[in-house]
Amino acid sequence: MVLVLALGDLHIPHRAPDLPAKFKSMLVPGKIQHIICTGNLCIKEVHDYLKSLCPDMHVTRGEYDEDARYPETKTLTIGQFKLGLCHGHQVIPWGDLDSLAMLQRQLDVDILVTGHTHQFKAYKHEGGVVINPGSATGAYSSITYDVNPSFVLMDIDGLRVVVYVYELIDGEVKVDKIDFKKTATAHSAH
């Protein structure tokens, strides 16, 4: 069982002062093995805070990030799964699942995690799974109205990944989960 925290679009301090208190109390150091962050943190303080939760942190560049050195895309392998990470402002039309699927094929990953729209999504198609963890602070988005703060926790176990989505709705944290199984005949690049 490997726990991967996926979150992004915090937009601190441009659009939000901080993570919701209820989220902060849930995110305790030492419980998560990996953090993948879609971008738009935006400042070093946020980077350092996330790093304190888990040293294995991967971030891709959002268009408001202070640190210009984050990469545009990132791929990593966790267990049996290949994960791809990208903020998503580079994929036009924004939030378009078919265009995101193209990125997924391009990165050759089972799970693609992107953000930018601030809307939680977990979508399975023939090439794999596309996840958008939404905005962890519920930050304003020109694309999505009424954003609820949300983040995703993935539990990777063998060929199975359970995606837990945590959403703060009217002051309460609601959890939902989605199961994905990777077929054993997974394609290899070579």
Chain residues that interact with another protein, rule: CB under 8 A: 12-18, 21, 43-45, 63-64, 89-90, 92-94, 96, 98-99, 101-102, 105-106, 108, 126-127, 140, 142-143, 145, 187, 189-190
Q: In this complex, which beta carbon is closest to another protein, that of residue 64 or of residue 164?
A: 64
Six-digit token string for 6: 């996926």
Q: What is the chain's Cα-based Rg?
A: 15
CA distances from 159 to 2, 66, 153 (A): 12, 37, 16
We find the least distance from the C-beta atom of residue 108 to another protein, in angstroms, to be 4
Give me the least distance between CB of 93 and another protein, in Å please: 5
Q: Rounded to the nearest whole angstrom, what is the least distance from the CB of residue 32 to another protein in the complex? A: 25
In eight-state DSSP terms, residue 42 is B
CB nearer to another protein: give 46 or 54.
Answer: 46
Positions of E strands within the chain: 2-7, 34-37, 57-59, 73-78, 81-86, 111-114, 121-125, 128-132, 150-157, 160-169, 172-181
Least spacing, CB of residue 154 vs another protein, in Å:
22
